[in-house]
Amino acid sequence: MANNILVLNGPNLNLLGSREPDIYGPTTLADIERDLTAEAAARRIRISFYQSNHEGALVDRIQAARGEGVDFMIINAGALTHTSIALRDALAAVGIPFIEVHLSNVYRREEFRRRSFMADLAVGVVAGLGAAGYRCALRYALDLGPSGAG
């Protein structure tokens, strides 16, 4: 079971709620973070959040996670999922288990969204479940964990 979870969100996810709501839904990032905070608090688990529109800032945050004792990450890297070797390398470097999350079903959209530079490093990928995908990922981290039955 994870004890110290970091939730990372990449470019444009700060606009959730107003951004293409037909694709990404009406829920804001603040709503998602509030929901996850409540779930983690009920389980007495440490959870922290970081969103950036900048690739390098996300790389820095991933690198810092190791020194902070983060033992599981939930990541929606947005468009950087499909482009960023730097993020992939950072994830490989720290070796912290993570779940890749996408609100939309990237496999039902444009061809370029089907490629992820990090999915093969991930414990799993959740796509198309909207904001509930983050909750599913957290439940996995809390109930099953990296060494769980998943």
Name which of 115 and 139 has its Cβ closer to ligand DQA.
115
Q: Return the axis-axis angle of helices 132-139 and 29-42, rounded to nearest 10°.
A: 20
Per CB under 6 A, 51 contacts ligand DQA? no
Per CB under 6 A, 102 contacts ligand DQA? yes
State the nearest-atom distance from the C-beta of 79 to ligand DQA, in Å.
4
For residue 130 the two structure tokens come to 């909207």
Annotated active-site residue 24? The verdict is yes
State the nearest-atom distance from the C-beta of 59 to ligand DQA, in Å.
17
Q: In what order do the strands lie in the sheet with 46-51?
A: 46-51, 4-9, 72-76, 98-102, 124-127
| Contact region with ligand DQA (CB under 6 A), list: 65-73, 78-86, 117-125, 140-148 | 78-86
Ramachandran sector of residue 75 (left: φ over 0; alpha: ψ -120 to 50; beta: rest): beta
CA 136 to chain centre: 11
State the nearest-atom distance from the C-beta of 113 to ligand DQA, in Å.
4
Residue showing the smallest CB distance to ligand DQA in the complex: 78
Q: Is the dihedral of CA 34, 50, 125, 23 positive or negative?
A: positive
State the nearest-atom distance from the C-beta of 149 to ligand DQA, in Å.
27
Per CB under 6 A, 113 contacts ligand DQA? yes
Strands (E), the chain: 4-9, 46-51, 72-76, 98-102, 124-127
* Rg of the Cα atoms in the chain: 14
Annotated active-site residue 54? The verdict is no
The residue annotated as part of the active site, out of 102, 107, 134, 140, is 102
State the residues that interact with ligand DQA by CB under 6 A. Answer: 12, 76, 78-79, 81, 102-104, 106, 113
Question: Which positions are catalytic?
Answer: 24, 102
